[in-house]
Amino acid sequence: MSAPLTGGCLCGAVRYRVAAEPLRVTHCHCAMCRRHGGSAFQTWLSVPAERLVFESGAPRLYRASEIAERGHCAACGTPLTFQYLAQRERISVSAGSLDHPETVQPTGHVWAHERLPWLPDDGLPQEEV
């Protein structure tokens, strides 16, 4: 990645820029991510929190559990962020909200024990959590 990553929500109310290489890009199979994203899994890129800048609008935050919060567009509902409360130095951004998601490459799966059995195996490493 040579240029900053940019992205936003479906309706355009929230726009962001990430001026850092992703620390990690993973497919998450936990039930909460499936429900939040409305799909079989959610792909996240973890970045240093200080390198994520909202250039217009901001996500509405939702305390999804005792340990994490999720951000989405208040207008259109696009899933945008995930952050562990105990790890405020990192934040995850939904790869599907990137302007060019093809520029990031997933390197593995997390919460693999909750992976839906009908998903094909892509050969990437599987982590239980």
The set of residues, in sequence order, having a beta carbon less than 8 Å from that of 31 and lying 6+ positions away, is 114
Q: Which amino acid is at 26?
A: T
> What span, in angstroms and rounded, lies between the C-alpha atoms of 14 and 27?
23
Contact 36, 44 (CB under 8 A): no
| Predicted local confidence at residue 3, as pLDDT | 66
- Hey, which CATH number is domain 5-114, 3.90.1150.10, 2.60.40.10, 2.170.150.70, 3.40.630.30? 2.170.150.70
pTM score of the predicted model: 0.91
Q: What is the pLDDT of residues 7-52, one digit of tens each?
A: 999 999 999 999 999 999 999 999 999 999 999 999 999 999 999 9
Q: Quickly state the pLDDT bin for 2 (edges 50, 70, 90).
A: low
Q: Quickly state the pLDDT bin for 89 (edges 50, 70, 90).
A: very high
> What span, in angstroms and rounded, lies between the C-alpha atoms of 37 and 127?
20
Residue 108 has, within 13 A of its CA and on its CB side, a CA count of 11
